[in-house]
Structure 1
Amino acid sequence: MTLLDADGLAKSFGQVVTARSVSFHVAAGEALGIVGPNGAGKSTLLNLITGALPVDAGRIGFDGADITRAPAAHRTAMGIGRTFQIPRPFEGMTVFENALVGSTFGAGLRRRAADAQAWEALETAGLTHVANAPAGSLRLLDRKRLELARALATRPRLLLLDEIAGGLTEHELPALISTVAAIRDGGTGVIWIEHIVHALLQVVDRLMCLAQGDVVATGDPREVMASDAVASVYLGSPDLEGETP
């Protein structure tokens, strides 16, 4: 079943084109990876999906409904959640309270239901052991996990991940990869932007490469990364599997 259907999305800022007739789809329980150099339009694409930015042209469908002009809050309530590249938790609040913000204001839950959803999100993200700690005291890995937990607390059916592995060590990556894979296996659709390509290849079902707002290639992840078109995007490098541009 198609969960998200993006058709002909276009976005420009003056003369700078960040999306040029971008079309793709994501099914429930499917993970789509997105790669591309800096400035390719990857984060802009997530902003178009969430409603943080309006599209100049094109259509966005979610679970059969046209959400192209829907407000961001409405999209969250429908089941679209996201993380951001740089975690910015409410540092003076506890880890649990941060997740509670997502379940209360994102999912629209109250009292016990909000508490239960926030706790479940922390369990999935592996943060229950620091639930009562101030969010400002967390190290980077746990800040990334909290960013994930806050998104999960909104009860997303489609989860958008924006470089959630960025800044982590190779030792820290496996646990995060396993968590994202488990979320996908649980039936949640995932769109994951990441520069750490080998992390993506362990999770995503399909891969899309963007460059200057255009779709360069899409399809089987390893075939996409091995294609000449994608190699040319990365300055002609033939070996991209471990690339972290």
Structure 2
Amino acid sequence: MIDIVVADDQQLVRTGFRLILEAQPDLRVVGEAGTGVEAVTVSRRLRPDVVLMDIRMPELDGIQATRQLLAAADPDLPHVLMLTTFDLDRYVYGSLKAGASGFLLKDTPRDQLIDAVRAAAAGQRLIAPALTRRLIERFLVLPPPDGGHAPSLRTLTDRELEVLRLIARGLSNTEIAASIFVAEATVKTHVNRILAKLGLRTRVHAVVLAYETGLVRPGDPEAPAPPRRAASSPEDATFA
């Protein structure tokens, strides 16, 4: 069973999400919150698997609430899906920087919302690589070039750095495998090691770090990508 907290300042919205989610046998709404402060308090008390977090809320906005919630030294932190009516890039980027696992518009179709909650609970990313790259290139204030040798990256092997660059350029595991001529399972192993070494929760956060450290920079040549195929697994699917 996947436990969910719904945080939104509108009761009608919270009720609508509850009805949609609790119609599924594996989803359960265990709590609601009408402000950012309540979202943090309720989530810490109930310890859900997923928090649906509205961005525009009183007292504390959803991005700040997410930052507070995920700052705790707790191995069982929830996965946060940000919700908004506004398709603004700055909200998406702010959400990712705060540690959110994904970003959804409130008019997301019912089935995509359900899929997104399940995917988030499983630790999967919920934003297409191309969108992630576009947002970061547009809004990230880059530090001075350091040749990709920031202290946080020095624990990575040359191969892991190569994989991280390709992740930041928007390639899926399947495409990375084809680009560097290894099995997809090997790429997954590299990705897991990269996240573990850098202390990151998702590959989205790895993309942010790659740009922040100068490992990848806007304007760099695009990574060569093999022809795309239809998404065959949740990892390759786009929910936002």
Task: Calculate the TM-score normalised by the size of structure 1.
Answer: 0.29
Higher helix share: 2
Higher strand share: 1
Compare relative contact order (CA 8 Å, sep 6+) and give the higher one, 1 or 2: 1
